[in-house]
Chain A
Amino acid sequence: MERGLIFNIQRYAVHDGSGIRTVVFLQGCPLHCLWCSNPESQGAVKPVTWYKNGQAKTVGQWYTLDAVLAEIEKDEIFYQTSGGGITLSGGECLVQADFSAALLRAVKSLGIPTAIETTGALPITAINKVLPYTDEVLFDLKIMAQPLAKQVIGDNVAFVKASFEAALQASETTVIPRIPLIPGYTAQMDNLHQIIDYLHQCGVKKVHLLPFHQYGSQKYHDLNRAYALEKTPLLTSEAITQIHDLFTAENIDAVVYGLD
């Protein structure tokens, strides 16, 4: 039987994607982004223990396909009225590509819209497994220069690009590139220019910008881990606007999250 390791199922997600969604967070990620807000999901597909108020708490629970489907189906009526559906997130949902594909396939067969959030940092076979059952890919583009990407977050830019292009080619799938704007890292001008060049190459005309936030900081505490961006200030709205304008000037439609 297919089993997946899931560390959270969040219902009534209304701030990401269309409609009212259920987000399934899958354990495991090959990267180690310094700004990661789900650090408990990093590394191999195995449960993680942390301490909250002195109490040990295990994160990550094995679900059969039927068990997770049962959770997803609970909000079916809300997907129907809102055009929402499910989103697989993580971690990196492609790490458990077989389970993800089986889940997406089952969900899609119920007429429920599907989406994944991915960085595409795995060999192309992974994303190819899920694409036939995925209506929307929210594709994170982070650091584009290879040695730097490897050094800072353990990323493989070649994998990322191949996965991204595969997603673009999937005719039934919408791809939305997203850029987390991390001061000192992804939000550097030269990196942004590299992203723009790459989007031009691929003929992509829109992008979502996710300004840096500090929501994950408590988790580093709970995991007893150092948090490199503890002191990193949030981007000012001028800085965000400046980045937004940079994309617009390049004829790329940029949507900024959380900014009214």
Chain B
Amino acid sequence: MLLNVENLHAEVAEGGQPILKGLNLQVEPGEVHAIMGPNGAGKSTLSSVLAGRDDYEVTDGSAQFDGEDLLEMDPEERARKGVFLAFQYPVEIPGVSNKLFMQTAVNAVREERGQAPLDMFDFDEYAQSKMSTLNMRPDLLERSVNVGFSGGEKKRNDMYQMALLEPKLCIMDETDSGLDIDALKVVAKGVNALRSPERSFLVVTHYQRLLDYIKPDVVHVLYDGKIVKSGGFELVEKLENEGYDQIIQSHETGQ
């Protein structure tokens, strides 16, 4: 199993408000899981906790990644071992060029894998080779990280980073939000190009459209800090037609 989350409880580090309340999630290598759920359910929190953001404190439960205790690791260590988070809101870093940023990141991951670092020229070549699948404008690489990028360009840049780092687990937090139809296809194409028997995806989304393109193996509904329902692709269609009310109601009466 690539990711095994059991009974995960997490709260806001400052204030102690509980957000994840006993979450279970198992992802096998090569699988694509979609996570849906109403606003405020805890989807971004789950993504952040898995990536290691210290705004949240895990109070109970466990998360194993590739057989190791994920929660013990610093965020950079998780990234080096193959966890990638595409942010709901990618962050701007003024003055740091996208290229230098990504060269540093790629070499950090290479170091972890026991590979020699790429120098400027090798990195340039590598960066070029990954650019075409995502229709990345080459000048975005020369600019400061996400500064002055449009919303769609930021998301695309995150996808591009994901392609460069070749992670094992890709967590995509609402990567499809704010994308136009063409950009959405590009992102879906990028994801599909990265799919492999070893690589898994956790795709957080509110909409069916992206999932139409990437066909998840499992669909989960996250509500009030827990996975309340899991199923196949048919669950997406059901939600699209009926909304969350029924699932939430049956979950709450079932309790």
A and B interact physically: no
A residues within 8 Å of B by Cβ? none
